[in-house]
Amino acid sequence: MWCHLVSDHSLHELHAFAEWIGIPRRAFQGDHYDIPDEARPVAIEEGARVVTSREIVLALYAAGLRLRPAQRTLTPPASA
């Protein structure tokens, strides 16, 4: 089983928190981290909150970390 780890503030905050709890950068999926279920208690102990899938999506949109489908076609891809 897997969990999603997101930030309602910034990707910088998300990366710092993931590093703090020992989640490797390779688990980053563009706007969230996929973390193993066994890492969930550690994340919660360190301050993560358990929310619904809907709350995750709303938080990502509110923080500007997830674009709506129509916006994705208007945004040029990031340079490699």
Span 13-66, pLDDT tens digits = 999 999 999 999 999 988 889 999 999 999 999 999 999 999 988 888 888 888
Using DSSP, how many helices (H) and how many strands (E) does the chain show? 4, 2
Beta-bridge partners for 4:
34
Decide if 80 is inside a domain. Answer: no
Q: Give the count of domains, the chain.
A: 1
Decide if 7 is inside a domain. Answer: yes
Phi/psi of residue 46, nearest 5 degrees: -90, 0
- pLDDT, position 14: 93
In angstroms, how far is CA 43 from the centroid of its own chain?
12
Decide if 78 is inside a domain. Answer: no
**Which residue segment(s) compose the domain that 44 sits in?**
2-67
| Whole-angstrom distance, CA of residue 57 vs CA of residue 24 | 22
In this predicted structure, the answer to whether residue 71 has a pLDDT above a threshold of 80 is no
